[in-house]
Amino acid sequence: MDLRIINPGLMTTIQDLGRYGYAHLGVTPAGAADALALRVANLLLGNRENAAALEMTLLGATVEFQRAAIVVLTGAQVDCRLGNARAPMWRAFPVLPGAVLKCGAITGGARAYLAVQGGFELKAVMGSVATLGSAHFGGLEGRTLKAGDRLAVSHVVSSGVRRISRDALVYLAPRRELRITPGPQASWFGSEGLQLLQRGPYAVSGDSDRRGIRLRGEALTLPPKSQLVTEGISLGAMQVPPDGQPIILFVDQQTTGGYPKVANVIAADLRHVAQLRPRDEVHFRMVTVEEALELLREQEEWLQKAFD
């Protein structure tokens, strides 16, 4: 084995870009919460974009390399040490056999990614190695990593290390104003409800996880006797349970649900949802689907031009 977990940190899982095509069987995609950070990590290493990496949450992992490797750290700022030296972020670096990479507190966001050149050798389940903890499959035995776990690095030929330009990094700054489009039941909340939602702020509750970001703020009012027949849920949907406090449904969410959805975070801002920490305050701003798609196009164009 090539890599050993000495300390798993708070919650470290193996994630790729998710398991698609099985929602009709009740299987939610899972995958990296901050998909852009994972894609950049893989592009920096010359991996395919979908290669799996370690997703570390709030507190990083300590990892021992038994063989030489090229690694990269992306996502939220994480204080990592390689021996006595501080490990860089957003830049690939080599590690020697026996090296220990010690990742500490994650700041300025919630999740950081540790990727290796070649990716990890893991058995794909339904076409993906993403960990879906609630269903106990994917990743390593379908669970969060623990001390003593060992991982093998694939010997896939890399297309070579790349560098991200300094200017491009500006785009990765966190956002606390999330853009939304109306959800399927937006009209249930009236224009007053949608204004209330956009007035904010909403604070991120401590019981948030990969299934959903729970918010605390002005309660939204549901019309009396409103009942929804269970329907499919999209990624980033903002559902409103009877207490009126919205929940942003995220990568490990259920595939269907019965609460009304007032809005949906736009695809280009889902990476900012991934980086919300407990007690962070967020605002919401309604945009049109056309504006949302323009922002998504911008993100893809940024990715094409981000590398030197």
Partner 1 sequence: MRSEVQVSEGMRVIDASDSSILVVFGDEISRELNRRVIQLFHDLQKSDLQKSAGSPIRNLHPAYASLLIDFNPLLLPPAELRTRILELTEQSNTTSADTARRAIEIPVCYGGELGPDLPDVAQHTGFSPEEVIARHSSVEYTVYFIGFSPGFPYMGGLPESLATPRLETPRTSVPAGSVGIGGSQTGLYPMQWSGGWRLLGRTPMLMFDPEANQPSRLQPGDLVKFMPITRESFDAMVAGR
Cβ at position 78, least distance to partner 1 in Å: 29
Q: Return the residue of 77, 154, 198, 255 that touches partner 1, per CB under 8 A.
A: 255
Q: Which of 256, 220, 213 is nearest to 236 (CA)?
A: 213
Nearest residue (CB) to partner 1, 64 versus 294: 294
Element (H, E) at 195: helix 190-199
Q: Return the residue of 62, 239, 264, 275 that touches partner 1, per CB under 8 A.
A: 264
Nearest residue (CB) to partner 1, 58 versus 262: 262
Q: Return the residue of 68, 232, 243, 298 that touches partner 1, per CB under 8 A.
A: 232
Q: What is the Cα–Cα distance from 244 to 154, expressed in whole angstroms? A: 47
Judged by CB under 8 A, the stretch of 71-79, 96-104, 150-158, 256-264 that binds partner 1 is: 256-264
Cβ–Cβ under 8 Å, residues 88 and 103: no
From residue 191, alpha-carbon distances to 188, 196, 197, 221 in Å are 9, 9, 10, 12
- Binding residues for partner 1 restricted to 178-207, rule: CB under 8 A: 181-184, 186-187
89 is a contact residue toward partner 1 (CB under 8 A): no
230 is a contact residue toward partner 1 (CB under 8 A): yes
296 is a contact residue toward partner 1 (CB under 8 A): yes
Cβ-based burial of 193 (10 A; exposed 0-12, middle 13-18, buried ≥19): buried
Q: Token pair 């809005």 is at which residue? A: 263
25 is a contact residue toward partner 1 (CB under 8 A): yes
CA 164 to chain CA centroid, Å, is 20
Q: What is the Cα–Cα distance from 230 to 256, expressed in whole angstroms? A: 6
306 is a contact residue toward partner 1 (CB under 8 A): no
Residues lying near partner 1 in the complex (CB under 8 A): 20-27, 29, 125-127, 132, 134-138, 181-184, 186-187, 229-237, 254-256, 261, 264-267, 286, 288-289, 292-293, 296-297, 300
